Copies of this chain bind each other. A is one copy, B any other.
Amino acid sequence: MTSELRVGLAGLGTVGAGVAAILAHNARALAWRAGRGMRLTAVSSRDRQKDRGVDLSAIAFERDALALAERDDVDVVVELIGGEEGIARALVEGALRGGKHVVTANKALLARHGAGLGALAERHGVALKFEAAICGGIPIVKSLREGLISYGISAVRGILNGTCNFILTQMEASGRPFAEVLAEAQRFGYAEADPTLDIGGGDTAHKLTLLTSLAFGTAPDFEGVAITGIDKITPADIAFAGEFGYRIKLLGVARRTAGGIEQLVNPAMVRAGTPLADVESSFNAVAADAGEAGPFFFQGRGAGRGPTASAVIADLVDVARGALGPAFGRPAAELVPPRREPAEARMSAYYLRFQVLDVPGVMAEISRHLANQLVSIESMIQRGRAPGEPVAIVMITHEAQHVAVVRALQAIAASDKVVEFPCMIPMEAA
């Protein structure tokens, strides 16, 4: 057995403590898999004294995380600090430059700087691994990087944020509005005090950026993701979706198109009975088409101590047994930015909901504006009569240009019979 792999751990929150616990309690079984021992030699966090349920008294402590990159007794740095800049970035860069491997759960950092960091790792002959950054309970990074590599992948779709899926599932089950369900989720710790990154779609976009890179062999291109969050979704939309045979999910979608690569994060109508539609509560899932190898679907826990720590450990075992390889599956020099599909090329069928005054002529006006933009209607629900009061008109369009639908909605929104900007949700054929 070769000498042991010495681990420096930056960040001792719930996940970091989980990693330390596995390293402490599962050393023998991990050594079997790794072909050598792994040992935690140094940790860094803001608070040394806090009880984390694992004995760290014999392990070197650094108040400054950056010091981990300098220590001679650290072969691999585990970065669990988070954030796309600042100390996390400095630590990862410092470690790689110092010839240390890096294992990280930091999706934001990699979505923004993944290509450069991958190149840096390659230059210094070390690994940069990030299984924990996307759906920790599913080995999706390894599967895309090493497993389903023989045929081109044409599309990847994911439910990548457990908080959003939890909120949407709760809204559906209870019929309660977004703000109320979010507040409850915050009270129970299922949502952050500042939930912007989750509900705004940013977290999903970070993860999608990495999936896109792994699936298509392109450099991570976070700026190329069109992002819409879930905060405008109403219980009415969820109920109408059900009537049409769909469920609303916050999806990250990356597709190879004629024009390039399309990356979208938005609430989408997913047909009931398909695997993605059935993903409940805070579960994560990824579905993809792997050409002749067929479609595949993975579901599991996305975040939290167990799934994320488990993913970090799997990366550490890979590092220990010398399974290094380029971060995104191909050499940095071959990792080119994707050609972005032009916004004008974006096509989809759409669910549209109009809140209108129940007065004569409103349907004619909506229809005219849609027709002007060559958007045709596949099916429609109009219900409830309340003369002079707002009612909902709901429709699903045939496939149409995204920009044309937006133009039609802008024209419709200008009408004095329309009481709010119409809701527009793409139909996702999954």
Contacts and interface: CB of A to CB of B under 8 A. Distances in A.
Interface of A: 18, 22, 26, 29-30, 32-33, 35, 131, 136-139, 142-143, 145-151, 217, 273, 275, 278, 290-301, 305-307, 309-311, 313-314, 317-318, 321-323, 325-326, 329-331, 334
B293 A307 contact: yes
B273 A293 contact: no
A323 B313 CA distance: 17
A326 B317 CA distance: 13
A292 to B, nearest CB: 3
Given A290-B137, A292-B306, A149 B33 contact: yes
A35 B324 CA distance: 10
Contacts of A142: 139, 142-143, 146-147
Contacts of A310: 148-151, 290, 292-293
Nearest to A294: B301
Nearest to A296: B300
Contact of A317 (B149, B311, B318, B334): B149
A27 to B, nearest CB: 12
A299 B275 contact: yes
Contact of A131 (B136, B147, B294, B329): B147
Most buried by B among A147, A307, A326: A147
Nearest to A292: B306
A250 B275 CA distance: 20
Which 9 pairs, one residue from A and one from B, show the smallest C-beta to C-beta distance? A292-B306, A139-B147, A294-B301, A296-B300, A293-B310, A150-B310, A32-B330, A323-B323, A150-B313
A289 to B, nearest CB: 11
A306 B293 contact: yes
Nearest to A297: B299
Contacts of A325: 33, 35, 321, 323
A296 B299 contact: yes
Contacts of A301: 293-296
Contacts of A291: 306
Most buried by B among A22, A142, A143: A143
Nearest to A307: B293
Nearest to A137: B294
Contact of A314 (B146, B313, B318, B321): B146
A26 B275 contact: no
Nearest to A304: B294
Contacts of A290: 137, 310
Contacts of A323: 146, 318, 321-323, 325
6 contacts: A139-B147, A150-B310, A293-B301, A294-B300, A295-B300, A323-B323
Contacts of A300: 293-297
Contact of A309 (B131, B147, B150, B313): B150
B149 A313 contact: yes
A130 to B, nearest CB: 13
A172 to B, nearest CB: 15
